[in-house]
Amino acid sequence: MSDVVTMDDLSNEEILSILDDSKRLIPVARGDVHLPLLEGKVLANMFYENSTRTRMSFEAAMKRLGGSVLNFTSVGTSVAKGETLYDTMQMVDGYADIAVIRHPRQGAAQYSADAVDIPILNAGDGAGNHPTQTMLDLFTIMEAHGKIEGLNVVLVGDLRYGRTVHSLSHALIRFGAKLTLVSPETLSMPEEIVRDLRSSGAEISENSDLSGSIPDADVIYMTRIQKERFPDEDEYAKVAGIYTLGSKDMHGAKDGMIVMHPLPRVGELHPSLDSTPHARYFQQAFNGVPTRMALLCRGLGVTIPKEVK
């Protein structure tokens, strides 16, 4: 019940309430206010795949709220000896109060959630979903635009293997955004996802032209081509570096348009963009801390005070 494996695990009402909680938690996330709401609680950070922001922001979130963290990686543990995910999760069930899991296999988070009693937060399962990233993405969009409804959000790059955009597109449609999907044909959004999005009456257009999509955009969400998910290196070579944005591309953009990226960037965003008012990706990465604080509190059944000071 308190698992978050896909965005379907959260109602629109819950999403808005988590975003509201996150906003109040910003001073705690920055370390300006001490609020040990999760004192005595233990988070297991289960990372079977590389991570910088997701792992560190979950750890920062837990520690800023007075909790502690058990860090697990697949290197240096019994995974190397052949221990199964099921068995490892049985240990975690006894050692921690809540677990975050990232795994290269799609479905691994749901499998873990089914295998244990403690709440599971999916931090990325293969090319599947990444719902906690979506929460910080929604927070960043709301922070910039004050709403989601009616915004034209352009999702760019690897829409096929990119789990961030799979979760995000669902959530954006639920809140009434219009989507422009920009990718090379080989990396287009999986058909079943597009069908699902359209079935709710959403306005979605698909093309491969990034520069033509800039003038009407309220948000441009760039993504990395997910090299590690390609079955063939040559296929990756054909699309590597296909979309890039720099400050010179911002001339025709709306004043309030924001550029987001879940990071890491590997050439999609030229550093010249960083100092423009459009760049939001570092702020977006920081927003992982307050939103994950709110998600941890929700998972552990802890209410965030209406006034945080």
Residues that bind ligand NCD (CB under 6 A): 53-54, 124, 130, 133, 163-164, 224, 262-263
Residue 263 beta carbon to ligand NCD: minimum distance, rounded to whole angstroms: 5
Residue 54 beta carbon to ligand NCD: minimum distance, rounded to whole angstroms: 4
Query: Which lies closer to ligand NCD via its Cβ, residue 27 or residue 236?
Result: 236
As a 3-state breakdown, the chain gives helix, strand, coil percent values, each rounded to 5, of: 45, 15, 40
Query: Which lies closer to ligand NCD via its Cβ, residue 119 or residue 288?
Result: 288
Query: Which lies closer to ligand NCD via its Cβ, residue 237 or residue 302?
Result: 237
Query: Which lies closer to ligand NCD via its Cβ, residue 188 or residue 226?
Result: 226
DSSP 32: S
Q: What one-letter code names the amino acid at 236?
A: Y
The closest of 272, 180, 256, 255 to 221, measured between CA atoms, is 180
Return d(Cα 61, Cα 296) in angstroms, integer. 8
Query: Which lies closer to ligand NCD via its Cβ, residue 35 or residue 60?
Result: 60
Query: Which lies closer to ligand NCD via its Cβ, residue 17 or residue 73?
Result: 73
DSSP 278: T
Query: Which lies closer to ligand NCD via its Cβ, residue 130 or residue 170?
Result: 130
Residue 142 beta carbon to ligand NCD: minimum distance, rounded to whole angstroms: 18
Which residue is it, tokens 């296929």?
235
Residue 250 beta carbon to ligand NCD: minimum distance, rounded to whole angstroms: 22
Return d(Cα 122, Cα 129) in angstroms, integer. 8
Residue 162 beta carbon to ligand NCD: minimum distance, rounded to whole angstroms: 7
The closest of 4, 19, 11 to 304, measured between CA atoms, is 19
**279: Cβ–Cβ under 8 A, 6 or more apart, which residues?**
258, 259, 269, 273
Residue 60 beta carbon to ligand NCD: minimum distance, rounded to whole angstroms: 14
Residue 123 beta carbon to ligand NCD: minimum distance, rounded to whole angstroms: 7
CB 254 within 8 Å of CB 215: yes
Return d(Cα 214, Cα 229) in angstroms, integer. 28
